[in-house]
Amino acid sequence: MPKIEVNEQVFYTLANHSGGWKSRDEFESALVCAKAELDEDSDKSLPKEERTLKIELNDTNRPDLWGTAGCARQLRIYDSGKSPQYDFFSRPGDIKKTSRKVKVQASVKNVRPYLSGFIASGKKISDPMLRDMIQTQEKLAWNFGRKRRSISMGLYRISLVNWPIIYKGVDPDSVSFVPLQWDVPLTLREILKQHPKGKEYAFIQEHEPIHPLLTDSQGTVLSYPPIINSNDLGAVQVGDSEVFIELTGTDLPSVTLAASIVACDLADNGFKIEPVEVEYEFDTSFDQTSAGKSKTSRNIIFPYYFQEPVFCSLSRVEKFLGEKLSADECIKALSRMGVKAEKAKAAERGQEKAGETEGVRAYPPEYRNDFLHAADVVEDIMIGRSLGSFKPERPSDSTIGRLLPITLFSRQVKELLIGLGYQEMIYNYLGSKKDLVENMRGKGDKIIRIFNPMTENYEYVRDSVVASLMASESISGRSVYPHKIFEVGKVAYLNDEENNRSSTRQFAGFLHAGTDANFNSAAAELQTLFYYLSREYDVEESSDPRFIPGRAAVIIFNKKEIGVFGELHPEVLENWGVTVPCTAGEIDLDALN
């Protein structure tokens, strides 16, 4: 879970508790509304202005809490029930005027296409503030941005920038500049090989033919996203009073939300937030025209409010919380969480029949986008009302737990694969289209897409274990070969024969990487596995595009296809950056059990 280190004096002031809380217990109770806990108290022997608190956040869905201002804001709102007003946001049909522009060229569309940004001015940056800005930058990029892969952030000194700013794709050998904390110019490719930050984040860009670059109108480099800023324009210092803040990434909603979080944090710290217009040479998924006239826009003025309201019925609140609450009680509880809400009736088909007509419509604040379902609204109602306000109930059912047959069978398969020299892995069940479909040479006709995902990196439910195994192999090139890994876990795919049009199955997937990996070795290990499972099987030639034609086979059990194995296609290996032969396979354990 994310941990933040905050200046005690600044945090208490922003939380409207300039003198702090009366006791540690009282402070820890206050942190509950932010789903946080005190990890380490400040050193009282230090001067007040130097004392720091370490706070652990227990919710990865709330990146707005990963900074001093954001966490303090939640505590302040919870105490007062009053939310801050951020009038610098643009909305569809309500566009702010600005002369500051960033032009995004089509050359970055297939590399790192999206950019958002704004200007913060009117106050000199102090040392604690700069430290917190850097911390927020790293927390957003590392946790929310998947180690800068999907989101990165840069800070720049406005006084040195010639507008408009240009965001484009370039040949990594054609441009050079002096990177931050360096004294000689390097090309983009040299930065990835020589600069410490370049080495750390080279995995993001090193395989791409075109790399992103941010310059001003005179061609002066601001940064090489997401790797490093320039040593000239990108070196923000204590005392600067006007800075340009930009975020780039692969998912527009995530990049926009991250910019909104930082803008709100700086506004809470007393900065004036000025909008920046971003002109794209390609369509985006946002609509900043008058309502109803267009579904896409090429010009977006940031900070931009894009969140959609979520309806939650009163019957659902009662079902989840065990108590009947009125709409007014729900609205009051939500206000303590910074969420605006109003009485509403369901507009969704089918809810009226289910008795879910009356309810509330919640509008996420500018710095949040974690309301994906009515259950998320209920959670905020619960916390806003306070957990201690609910009467405890004893469990009324007495049950005896036991392991399911498929669990016992899965454990048996795990033990056998470990005996064959494989190492067990555990993965997320969600992934990106690039990893699950494109890199695996798939069509994606059966893959399940999540509605309104937080980020494109977790947009699809995996329909195969092999892609997860390849993700590990793609970053394991420096380890001694051979590599033999496996996972036993869930996959899901579209299936019209099921009532909910999808199937969820327990699969075992395995991968062998090394010069000794071939079809014969995979077939021998498969035969060993089935022998000790006491199962008979047959094989037939497979046309699965993930494998080399003629070197892959379908596994047949009880006259049904339950799996596949073989030598992975060279194009799959190239997509993942794997340089040695690999065999892989997967088996439907539900069918085999």
Instruction: Give CA separation, 119 vs 102, 276, 282, 374, 505, in Å.
Output: 12, 7, 24, 35, 49
The whole-number pLDDT of residue 348 equals: 56
Instruction: For domain 101-302, give the CATH superfamily.
Output: Phenylalanyl-trna Synthetase, Chain B, domain 3 (3.50.40.10)
Please write the tens of the pLDDT for every residue from 334-390.
999 999 999 998 765 445 555 567 999 999 999 999 998 999 999 999 999 998 899
User: What is the pLDDT, as a whole number, of residue 18?
Assistant: 86
For residue 275, pLDDT beyond 60: yes
Query: Mean of the per-residue pLDDT values for the chain?
Result: 91
Using the predicted structure, report yes or no on whether residue 428 has a pLDDT greater than 50: yes
Across 304-318, 343-357, 513-527, least confident range: 343-357
Q: Is the dihedral of CA 522, 523, 526, 532 positive or negative?
A: negative
Per-residue model confidence (pLDDT) at position 233: 77
Q: How confident is the model at residue 93 (pLDDT cuts 50, 70, 90)?
A: confident
Give the model's pLDDT for residue 291. 44
pLDDT of residue 290: 47
User: CA 450, 451, 452, 457: dihedral to nearest 10 degrees?
Assistant: 20
- Residues 21-37: what's their mean pLDDT? 92
Give the per-residue pLDDT at 182: 92
Query: Considering Cα of 108, then 109, then 111, then 116, what sign does the dihedral take?
Result: positive
DSSP code, position 449 = E
The helix-helix angle for 374-385 and 314-321 (nearest 10°) equals 60
402 conformational bin, left if phi > 0, alpha if psi -120 to 50, beta if neither? beta
Among the ranges given (73-87, 193-207, 298-312, 340-354), the one the predictor scored with the smallest mean pLDDT:
340-354
DSSP 172: T
pLDDT band at residue 174 under the 50/70/90 scheme: very high
**Among the ranges given (282-291, 422-431, 501-510), the one the predictor scored with the smallest mean pLDDT:** 282-291
Q: How far apart are CA 163 and CA 158, in angstroms?
A: 9
b/e burial code for range 344-373 (CB count within 10 A of at least 16 → b) = bebeeeebeeeebeebbbbbbbbbbbbbee
For the chain, percent of residues with pLDDT exceeding 90: 74
Q: What is the pLDDT of residue 296?
A: 62
User: Measured between alpha carbons, how far is 376 from 378 in angstroms, rounded to an integer?
Assistant: 5
- pLDDT at residue 292 above 60? no
The whole-number average pLDDT for the span 109-116 is: 95
| pLDDT exceeds 70 at position 562 | yes
**How far apart, in whole angstroms, are the C-alpha atoms of residue 289 and residue 291?**
6
- CATH class for the region spanning 405-592: alpha beta
pLDDT tops 50 at residue 399? yes
Tell me: pLDDT of 237 over 90.
no
At 296, is the secondary structure helix, strand, or coil?
coil
What type of residue sits at position 509? G
Alpha-carbon distance of 499 to 503, in angstroms, equals 9
Supply the pLDDT for residue 134: 85
Minimum mean pLDDT among 196-200, 393-397, 455-459: which range?
Answer: 393-397
Question: So what's the pLDDT on residue 524?
Answer: 96
**For residues 415 and 138, which has the higher predicted lDDT (pLDDT)?**
415
Evaluate whether 356 touches 342 at the Cβ level (below 8 Å).
no
The 10s digit of each residue's pLDDT in 430-444 is 999 999 999 999 988
Predicted pLDDT of residue 349? 46
Residue 26, pLDDT > 60, answer: yes
Task: Report if pTM > 0.85.
Answer: no
Query: What is the CATH number that goes with domain 3-80?
Result: 3.30.56.10
Q: What is the pLDDT of residue 356?
A: 62
Which architecture does CATH list for 310-387? 2-Layer Sandwich (3.30)
pLDDT for the residue 48: 83
- pLDDT the model gives residue 499: 83
What pLDDT is attached to residue 295? 55
Judge if 3-80 and 310-387 fold alike in CATH terms.
yes
Domain ranges in the chain?
3-80, 101-302, 310-387, 405-592
